[in-house]
Amino acid sequence: MKISFCILILTGWLSLQAQDYKLNQRYPGYFINIKGDTIRGYILLTNKIENQRGAEFSNDAKGEKIKIHLLPGQIRGFKVKDRMYSTVEYGEPDPTAEHFLMIREEGVLTLFEYFRLAKDLYVGEGAGQRPATGDDEQYLQSEYVITTRQGKKFGIATPGELIRNAEAIFKDDQQIITDIKNKEKGYRYNDLPELVKRYNASHHP
């Protein structure tokens, strides 16, 4: 899978916080254009699938005035509530392979998360079932993308890919590499956000 990236350096956000918002609502936020300018206003927060494809910016809370459609590749990224996104070329084209990927951690390593919805997934509703949508965020699947300050990029979609790429990603920390390969507690695929956070804290640029 082809991967390229445009890292968006945004500060003041290091980890996901408790969700205190509703989907499909406008909240104060901002986007950063290609030149690096920050434009503040209101962002329509949709689900994690839809916001990967794009977002909508307005200069008022009701979206009645100026509206700008934000598309991957046309801006560097955006932030709304506790969700921060950057343009990354990753994932299946729909229609373009560029998506806004959620930034989970930043530092020596930057960790992104890419979300997808399993095919033929149904969820319970009342006495019956219905097809799942992106709004059913608790059922979304995800995978990770890790980038380094040297410009190297790694798609990590499975535990095996983490093990195979451990030396290249954490090459200056043999203990982490060993613990990943031995599948030690705290060093497995589902531990990646916390693992990258700890690594960044102890490896300053």
pLDDT tens for residues 59-70? 999 998 889 999
Give the three-class secondary structure for 71. Answer: coil
Tally Cβ neighbours within 10 Å of residue 199.
Answer: 19
Where on the phi/psi map is residue 175: left (φ > 0), alpha (ψ -120 to 50), or beta?
Answer: alpha
| CA–CA separation, 70 and 108 (whole Å) | 28
Tally Cβ neighbours within 10 Å of residue 174.
Answer: 10
How far does the chain reach from its first CA to its final CA, in angstroms? 28
Q: What is the mean pLDDT of residues 26-50?
A: 97
Question: Does residue 128 carry a pLDDT above 70?
Answer: yes
| CA–CA separation, 134 and 118 (whole Å) | 10
Query: What pLDDT digit, counting tens, does each position of 75-95 carry?
Result: 999 999 999 999 998 988 877
Residue 193: DSSP 8-state: H
Chain-centre distance for alpha carbon 205: 22
Q: Residue 82: its pLDDT value, please?
A: 94
Q: Residue 10: its pLDDT value, please?
A: 42
Q: Residue 135: its pLDDT value, please?
A: 94
- Provide the pLDDT confidence category of residue 205 given band limits of 50, 70 and 90: low
Question: Does residue 3 carry a pLDDT above 60?
Answer: no
Closest to 3 in 3D by CA, of 85, 142, 114, 103 = 114
Q: What is the mean pLDDT of residues 127-150?
A: 93
- Provide the pLDDT confidence category of residue 19 given band limits of 50, 70 and 90: low
Question: Does residue 36 carry a pLDDT above 60?
Answer: yes
Question: Does residue 15 carry a pLDDT above 70?
Answer: no
